[in-house]
Amino acid sequence: FCSIFYGFLMAAWLFLYFYRKDKLLSFIMLFALLSAPQYLEKFLTFDIDHYRLFFHAGVFVFLYNYFEKKDLLSFILLGIFSGFSAFTHSIGFMISVMTCCSVVFFTDNGFCGRIKYGFYLMCLMLFFGGVYYLIDIIWGSGWIFKSGFISL
């Protein structure tokens, strides 16, 4: 159910987001997304890829929104989606690092403002991504203890 729900949610969300920008682009994007064999295959098998892609796509949408609107809501959602994206896959972690760097380098708030916004974004990412790592280590799979890395 997870892959079907997030697959449809991602397709609908991206379609509606791009529809406000350019109607033709939204239909092209939806056609390209739905014609990809791997995307359709993940609907039939239980897989977490749509969940991951949903958060990866959300990072780019909110990064664009933040630079376009400069509002607090886009910034907070960028931090939340970046944290979840970093949690879901190592590629998401790299996306989150690049997102934080882009906020630091391209925000128009002077040097101290750039560092401050980068720090706030990093705190949001760690809160929404790092907390789930700790939960997984302690109450979830406990991968760090089972692998022999730490012996109790």
**Could you read off the pLDDT of 12-43 as tens digits, one per residue?**
888 888 888 889 988 998 888 888 887 777 77
Q: Report the half-sphere exposure of 87 (CA within 13 A, side-chain side).
A: 23
Which is higher by pLDDT, 14 or 131? 14
| CB count in 10 Å sphere of residue 102 | 15
With bands split at pLDDT 50, 70 and 90, how would you rate the model's confidence at 144?
Answer: low
Query: What's the pTM value of the predicted model, to 2 decimals?
Result: 0.75
Residue in this structure with the two tokens 């607090």, named with its chain if needed: 72
Longest CA–CA separation in the chain, Å: 58
DSSP assignment of 7-53, as one string? HHHHHHHHHHHHHHH-HHHHHHHHHHHHT-HHHHHHHHS--SHHHHH
